[in-house]
């Protein structure tokens, strides 16, 4: 089965889940309008994903490509290798430092997948809050000018050290921002890397869980509720 896994599979947060309604997102993230979103159970890199960012009159939900394409890139294929940015170095890395200072976003989700080697295969797990509630990854977004002059907007998910729930699966985890940190992360006036890095810490594990799911997740073409359904132990 491992040979069938995409090459970005080894990254932390290489797949995630967003299955809540637009009304729930509008309430949680204080959006000016209720967005139209569809349930997604196996979101993969290079696919269009919703992000939340601050516009001229308030917060809005926009759709961008997952996999950041820096402004200096020669072509957009580089984005398939830039799906995660490390919290410790994003402010200095040429690919991310401009976005870290000026173009931060929230990436809504209500679960993410990680894999663990078990016997002869990599077993996927879904990590989420035990009550299933949605949350936000810290993200960065960027705009790349395409040959036809139009803009390609893309994003990356910021990662940090794992909490005790994720540590048994991976040595990194997405940086999950609690609601009280959303405003500061989105605030364009806050550009201090030192201050922003204090927000990018492992989320406390007490309310989180991880459970085995089907190998269907290994194929990004599978995007249905069966992907997130608990699987029987081997």
Catalytic residue numbers, as ranges: 13, 114
Dig out the tokens for 106 from the structure. 């929230």
DSSP 134: -
DSSP track, 155-196: EEEEEE---HHHHTT-S-EE-EEPHHHHHHHH-TT---HHHH
Alpha-carbon distance 198 to 205, whole Å? 18
Query: 31: which residues sit within 8 A by CB, 6+ positions away?
Result: 25, 52, 58, 59, 60, 61
Pick the closest to residue 77 from 154, 157, 174, 159 (CA basis): 154
CA distances from 178 to 3, 36, 184, 201, 212 (A): 37, 23, 11, 11, 25
- Cβ pair 153, 47 in contact under 8 A: no
Q: Nearest-CA neighbor of 107 among 159, 69, 72, 151? A: 159
């Amino acid at each position: 089965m491992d040979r069938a896994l995409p090459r970005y599979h080894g990254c932390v947060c290489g797949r995630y889940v967003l299955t809540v309604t637009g009304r729930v997102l509008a309430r949680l993230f204080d959006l000016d309008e209720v967005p139209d979103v569809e349930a997604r159970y196996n979101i993969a890199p290079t696919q269009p994903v919703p992000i939340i960012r601050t516009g001229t009159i308030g917060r809005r939900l926009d759709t961008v490509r997952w996999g950041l394409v820096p402004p200096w890139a020669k072509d957009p294929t580089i984005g398939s290798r830039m799906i995660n940015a490390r919290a410790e170095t994003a402010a200095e890395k040429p690919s991310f430092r401009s976005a870290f200072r000026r173009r931060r976003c929230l990436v809504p989700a209500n679960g993410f997948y990680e894999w663990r080697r078990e016997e002869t295969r990599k077993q996927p797990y879904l990590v989420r809050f035990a009550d299933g509630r949605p949350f936000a990854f810290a993200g960065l977004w960027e705009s790349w000018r395409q040959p036809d002059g139009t803009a390609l907007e893309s994003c990356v998910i910021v990662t940090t050290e794992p909490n005790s729930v994720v540590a048994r699966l991976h040595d990194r985890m997405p940086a999950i921002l609690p609601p009280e940190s959303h405003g500061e992360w989105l605030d364009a006036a806050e550009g201090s890397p030192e201050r922003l890095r204090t927000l990018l810490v492992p989320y406390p594990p007490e309310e989180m869980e991880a459970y085995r799911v089907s190998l269907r997740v290994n194929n990004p073409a599978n995007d249905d509720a069966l992907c997130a359904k608990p699987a029987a132990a081997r």
